[in-house]
């Protein structure tokens, strides 16, 4: 089992869309995927619509260090081939979860090929820190916006530098001389940029409709390339 945490280096970086799209494409490749939202997400209403259980439902077991694989599976809801667990419903209660929450969750997830964690953008919460500590791969999304780049730089020096290798993604990428390029951003941040995910004009519509962008060819190809190059999975076709 491989665990992948998706985190947003700044607000509105598209990390949730990338995480859900990755899960959907892994399912299309025949992989067993558990997708967990650990940050308060715009996709939460989508999960409520599908009656997904949440991290709140297993909180007592996490506190008691007695979570089982059976309980985890019973909490998840199958949606479009993946197993989904929603985030805790109260942002204020996010710090009341144990810091080893994801250590316990991942140890109870052996029946899956991948556990995808949407960690959100608030690195002050126990759940986000737990995901950073315990996920095998940490994917952080930013955009070409100057504020996004500066926010990541500060986040990197204060927090991310303590958590080993980071897969840095530039999301909503537009090829325009007026904007920072991939190479510009790598130079400014002194970090390798693993790949870029193109901007899609259908992004806002997809959010409203609570869908992913995997039906849009350019976006799908980019995510398939990310899965191939960064996760070592699939053939990119």
Is residue 237 in some structural domain? no
SS3 35: strand
Structural domain tally of the chain?
Answer: 1
Does the structure show a pLDDT above 90 at 232?
Answer: no
Is residue 100 in some structural domain? yes
How distant is the alpha carbon of residue 86 from its chain centre?
A: 13
pLDDT at 237: 40
Is residue 129 in some structural domain? yes
Q: Which of 33-47, 151-165, 223-237 has maximum average pLDDT?
A: 151-165
What CATH number does the domain containing 131 carry? 3.40.50.300
Is residue 36 in some structural domain? yes
Higher-confidence position of 172 and 236 = 172
CB of 231 within 8 A of CB of 138? Answer: no
- For CA atoms 19, 20, 21, 26, give the dihedral sign: positive
Instruction: Judge if pTM exceeds 0.85.
Output: yes
CA dihedral 65, 66, 69, 74 (to 10 degrees): -110
Spatial distance between the Cα atoms of 147 and 137, rounded to a whole number of angstroms: 25
Is residue 236 in some structural domain? no
Q: What are the tens digits of pLDDT across the range 70-128?
A: 999 999 999 889 999 988 877 777 788 999 999 999 999 999 999 999 988 888 888 99
Q: Which domain holds residue 19?
A: 2-231
């Amino acid at each position: 089992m491989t665990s992948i945490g998706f985190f947003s280096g700044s607000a509105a970086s598209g990390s949730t869309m990338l995480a859900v799209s990755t899960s959907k494409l892994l399912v299309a490749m025949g992989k067993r995927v558990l997708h967990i939202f650990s940050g308060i997400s715009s996709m939460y209403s989508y999960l409520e619509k599908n009656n997904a259980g949440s991290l709140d439902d297993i909180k007592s077991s996490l506190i008691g260090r007695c979570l089982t694989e059976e309980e985890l599976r019973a909490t998840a809801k199958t949606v479009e081939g993946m197993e989904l667990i929603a985030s805790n419903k109260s942002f204020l209660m996010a710090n009341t979860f144990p810091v080893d929450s994801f250590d316990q969750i991942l140890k109870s997830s052996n029946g899956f090929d991948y556990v995808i964690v949407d960690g959100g953008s608030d690195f002050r919460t126990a759940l986000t820190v737990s995901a950073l500590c315990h996920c095998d791969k940490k994917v952080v999304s930013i955009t070409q916006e100057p504020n996004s780049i500066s926010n990541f730089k500060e986040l990197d020096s204060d927090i991310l530098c303590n958590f080993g290798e980071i897969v840095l993604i530039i999301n909503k990428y537009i090829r325009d001389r007026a904007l920072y390029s991939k190479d510009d951003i790598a130079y400014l941040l002194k970090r390798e940029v693993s790949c870029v995910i193109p901007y899609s004009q259908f992004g806002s519509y997809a959010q409203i409709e609570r869908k992913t962008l995997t039906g849009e060819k350019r976006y799908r190809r980019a995510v398939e390339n990310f899965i191939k190059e960064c996760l070592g999975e699939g053939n990119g076709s």
